[in-house]
Amino acid sequence: MNQYLDIKPEVAEALAAGKPVVALESTIISHGMPWPQNAETAFAVEDMIRAHGAVPATVAVIGGRLKAGLEKDEIEYLAKKGQAVTKASRRDLPVLCARGEDGATTVAATMIVAALAGIGVFATGGIGGVHRGAETTMDISADLEELARTPVLVVCAGAKSILDLGLTLEYLETKGVPVCGYQTDELPAFYTRVSGFGVDFRADSPAELAAAFAAQRALGYPGGMLCTNPIPEQYSMDPAVINAAIDQAVAESVQQGIKGKKVTPFLLARVKELTGGDSLASNIQLVLNNAALAADTAGELAKL
């Protein structure tokens, strides 16, 4: 086992017994939602995974240790500390480990820790991607590169709709990352079920999704697979409303000179304000929906 990695005993026992385990990120706890909704959501997501027969493994860096599975007090610690915790992607992990510091893991960093621990399935809200205006800023999330290099199945509600969805799909195609639509032929756009962009293939059951990922691993592909799971119909937002809020938030971020890691937290917070909190409610429901699908898929994968 890696010298910097701590696997929660419950997670280690499940992995050793071949039982289904689902990794979860921690950026959504420290940077994605305010206190106390962040802690409440983290616990609800773990409960959802257990209800679907799998073991949750929330990932973070605490005191320089890569954690595959957090205790309740550790989740509350990250939730209360909020944005004071480093938003940790691939490039940040070595420094955080060397300095003994804390980090809330992004999709990319969570995939790395999950792979180190031997966890093959990961549930999140939405992945990062190619930002709007990337043709001049070159702002492209490390999540996409990680999908190309780390063999983990990521279940999400599509790329965050604050991004350029068309370019994000083009980038994933270039990197050879299969993009699945769960019970849909169209890429969901995080807050809404439709985007106007197609996916690479459709899976209509967790068993079908697990079989595709198992085949990819058997073929020796170095990277992962992306499963996009539409937000439940009753929580989907009006595309015109959410897109108008996103356009305004993006314009404000440019005016204020916000760049790098600060862009996504700013945009999500501003969209929440502009939608009167509706986007946060939708965010919570889509994460729970993804957790359920990831747990069911991990269960099917464990049978193969």
Q: Which of 8, 67, 160, 272 is labelled catalytic? A: 160
Residue 239 has pLDDT above 90, yes or no: no
| CA-based R_g, the chain, Å | 18
Q: Distance between CA atoms of 29 and 14, rounded to whole angstroms?
A: 24
Residue 155 has pLDDT above 90, yes or no: yes
Where in the sequence is the domain holding 226, given as residue range(s)?
5-303
Identify the pLDDT of residue 69.
Answer: 98
pLDDT tens-place string over residues 79-105? 999 999 999 999 999 999 999 999 999
Q: Predicted confidence band at 76 (pLDDT cuts at 50, 70, 90)?
A: very high
Q: Is 81 a catalytic residue?
A: no
67: three-class secondary structure by DSSP: strand
Residue 262 has pLDDT above 90, yes or no: no
Identify the pLDDT of residue 58.
Answer: 98
**Token representation of residue 247:** 């356009």
What total number of domains does the chain contain?
1
pLDDT tens-place string over residues 130-154? 977 777 778 899 999 999 999 999 9
Identify the pLDDT of residue 281.
Answer: 82
Residue 266 has pLDDT above 90, yes or no: no
Identify the pLDDT of residue 45.
Answer: 98
Higher pLDDT, 257 or 7: 7
The residues facing 142 across adjacent strands are none
Identify the pLDDT of residue 277.
Answer: 66
Compute the residue count for the chain: 304
Identify the pLDDT of residue 27.
Answer: 95
Share of the chain above pLDDT 90, in %: 72
Q: Hey, what amino acid is at 169? A: L
Q: Is 261 a catalytic residue?
A: no
Mean per-residue pLDDT over the chain, rounded? 93
- Cβ-defined contacts of 81-86 (< 8 Å, 24+): 81/30, 82/30, 82/31, 82/34, 82/35, 82/38, 83/30, 83/31, 83/265, 84/30, 85/30, 85/31, 86/61
Q: Predicted confidence band at 114 (pLDDT cuts at 50, 70, 90)?
A: very high
Work out the burial of residue 43: count CB atoms within 10 Å of its CB; fewer than 13 is exposed, 13-18 middle, 19 or more buried: middle
pLDDT tens-place string over residues 40-64? 999 999 999 999 999 999 999 999 9
Q: Which of 63-67, 103-107, 156-160 has the lowest mean pLDDT?
A: 156-160
Residue 267 has pLDDT above 80, yes or no: no
Q: Which of 13-22, 60-69, 234-243, 292-301 has the lowest mean pLDDT?
A: 234-243
Which CATH number covers residue 251?
3.40.1790.10
Identify the pLDDT of residue 134.
Answer: 74
Identify the pLDDT of residue 278.
Answer: 63
